Chains A and B, each alone.
Chain A
Amino acid sequence: MAQITTSTRTLYRRPKLVPTLRKIALYILVAGVSALTIFPIYWMLVSTFQPSKFTLHYPPPLFPQEITFNQFAELFANHPIALWIRNSFLIATMSMLLCTSLTVLGAYALSSLRWKGRSMFGLFLLVTQMLPEILIVIPLYVIYRRLNVLDNLPALSVVDAAFALPVCIWILKGVFDTVPTEVLDAAVVDGCTEIGVLWRIVLPVSAPGLVAVAVVSFFSAWNEFLFAVIMLSSAKFQPASVGLTTLKATGFTPVEQYMAAGLIFSILPVLFYLIMQRYIVTGLTAGAVKG
């Protein structure tokens, strides 16, 4: 009995100090890692909203000394950023519509239908998903040149859709997989066709998955740089991803406008990617890992 009391006492006493220290260490570590991770983004915000008389100074102050909002108006006045965003928006919308409609077909074929070519089809998607874009850009440039579709927004969006398609199919397949088979069976028994099952049952309950696919296909075209810089050469078709890089080249763009442009470009993709991250991670690992 006495033995038991001593051991309970030591068990009770020791944890008091150690876990507190551990807890503090944990919080310090978490705070340090988080600060280090988001510092570049913090610095982007500081450099956007602080007048450049503070930023263009060494060493720069680590906390903003003054806040200004003039940079946005100046940015739109000095650079064709509205045109860039319009172009990006057009490319991304076309790519999204094309990619999302093809994705629905592919995901349904992969998820709930049994057929001989199914695993071959999955393998085919996987291989196309893994190929570096640079391998396609040279021959495609030659082909597009021959077809006379360089400097053509729809022609570019078609390429962007091709690269987003495999990831999108994996995302939507994962969502389609969660629809209970019994429900699909019951519908078929009740006289619904397979296409009817897709249209009336699978699609309506997979709305979040469809949103995720739309987000991925829209913003992968929005963010895309390599094909855009090669396929579009005239200024009036320049999308924002390419336009932003010319700001640096001109060299006369004040820092707060330069950073404001980056911020405007990033805000939508960051927001939507964070909201949809669970689905997107599943798609990027080709469904191998559930996010």
Chain B
Amino acid sequence: MSSLADASGTQDRVSPVKPLPRTRRRPHILPYALALPIVLYEIALIVYPIAQGIYGSFQQIELASNSPPTWVGLANYQRMFSDPDFWQVMKTTLIFTVLVIIVAIGTGLMTALLFNRDFRFRSVARAMLMLPWAFPEVPVVMIFVWILSPQFGVVNILARMIPGVTENPQWLQIPILAMGWVVLISSWKAFPFYSLVILAALQSVPQEIYEAAKVDGATPLQLFWHITIPSIRTTLELLVVLASIFSFKQFTIIYLMTGGGPSGATETIVMRIFNTAFRFYDYSYATAFGVAGFIVSLVITFFFISLQSRRAEERA
């Protein structure tokens, strides 16, 4: 691209001198003064509580009795690793996260390819597609609870079309269906965002490459695998990591749809931390689970950062 611009001479006309990098001004105390309040603020409200949580995972905290916490060493961790539920929760978290990534990014990619084509009312259709993303989570849950009502839910009309289904299913009482719906609802809410990002990436692929390949007799499938996918690959990788963070964090939808049930079928680690702390009031044990969740999210964040810096290098 840049070599093309150089060849046509446009770059020389716009700025005869190579522009200085953006960050050219003298070093100063000012940026530190600007950043300091933000760093302090985030330390007070995010870093310090997390440190407290890690510290608390080595203690036994009884909030109700107001007695001082006692130091118990690794007891909470010993309990956690010997708890068969721990591995179950980890497995559920993995299944939920992977399914949401596949469904949400898959749908996002397909809709982006579709909406990248030319048709009338395209801008209207695109705006409509963004609606689920713009909706707050609580009303989204309200809508789906109503749609899935075994008594009057509209989705039953569809289910009844399947041969053999003569009664409205108890959608959220059957483990596999409950998991399916939580994944679908989370993906429905998330996919427009991925679609929009992929669409932006698709539009930056130069059309000439496609034209050239078509002249050479490439089939649409070949165009997709050899041009489209490689050109949006870094964007897709970035979105996979981002989606794994977003779905790993997911709380509101699962909590309000199933609460982690039926019998733990949708209990991800985030749900487990909540239930342990605020349903069973076992704060210390919950913080041990919290540390496990913290480590997982740090690992995903690390992937995000390394992908992002690779992307920045590619651009430069």
A positions within 8 Å CB-CB of B: 23, 26-27, 29-30, 33-34, 37-38, 40-41, 43-44, 47, 55-60, 62, 102, 105-106, 108-109, 111-118, 121, 123-128, 130-143, 145, 158-159, 162-163, 165-166, 169, 177, 181, 184-185, 188, 194-195, 219, 222-223, 225-226, 230, 241, 244-245, 248, 255, 258-259, 261-263, 265-266, 269-270, 273-274, 277, 281, 284-286, 288-291
Contacts and interface: CB of A to CB of B under 8 A. Distances in A.
B77 interface: no
Contact of A60 (B25, B27, B152, B278): B152
A265 B139 contact: yes
Interface stretch (B78-86, B171-179, B205-213, B304-312): B304-312
Contacts of A126: 301, 304-305
Contacts of A134: 249, 251, 270, 273-274, 290, 293
Contacts of B225: none
A288 B152 contact: no
Interface centre among B134, B283, B308, B312 (most CB of A within 10 A): B134
Nearest to B270: A134
A277 B137 contact: no
Contacts of A284: 193, 242
Q: Taking chain B's interface residues, is the majority helix, strand, or loop, or is none over half, making it mixed?
A: helix
Nearest to A115: B31
Contacts of B249: 132-134
B136 interface: yes
Contact of B37 (A47, A102, A125): A102
A58 B152 contact: yes
B131 interface: yes
A27 B119 contact: yes
Contacts of A116: 27
Contact of A113 (B23, B251, B255): B23
Closest 3 CB pairs of A and B: A262-B139, A273-B134, A114-B23
Nearest to B235: A289
B156 interface: yes
Contacts of A142: 52, 56, 61, 63, 283
B42 A248 contact: no
B28 interface: yes
Given A43-B147, A117-B35, A140-B45, A194 B196 contact: no
A159 B119 CA distance: 45
Contacts of A262: 138-139, 142-143
Contacts of B290: 134-135, 138
B94 interface: no
A222 B142 CA distance: 16
Contacts of A265: 136, 138-139
Contacts, number: 289
A269 B134 CA distance: 7
A288 B193 CA distance: 14
Interface in B134-151: 134-140, 142-147, 151
Interface residues of B, number: 100
Contacts of B144: 40
B168 interface: yes
A30 B200 CA distance: 18
Given A37-B128, A132-B270, A134-B293, A259 B146 contact: yes
A106 B135 contact: no
Contacts of B270: 132, 134
Contacts of B37: 102, 105
Given A117-B32, A138-B277, A138-B283, 8 more contacts: A109-B34, A123-B305, A143-B48, A181-B19, A244-B139, A245-B256, A259-B143, A281-B193
B134 A29 contact: no
A130 B242 CA distance: 9
Interface in B163-193: 168, 188, 192-193
Contact of A44 (B27, B31, B143, B188): B143
B23 to A, nearest CB: 4
Contacts of A117: 31-32, 35
Contacts of B115: 30
Given A136-B50, A142-B56, A270-B135, A291 B252 contact: no
6 contacts: A132-B249, A134-B249, A134-B270, A137-B277, A159-B45, A288-B311
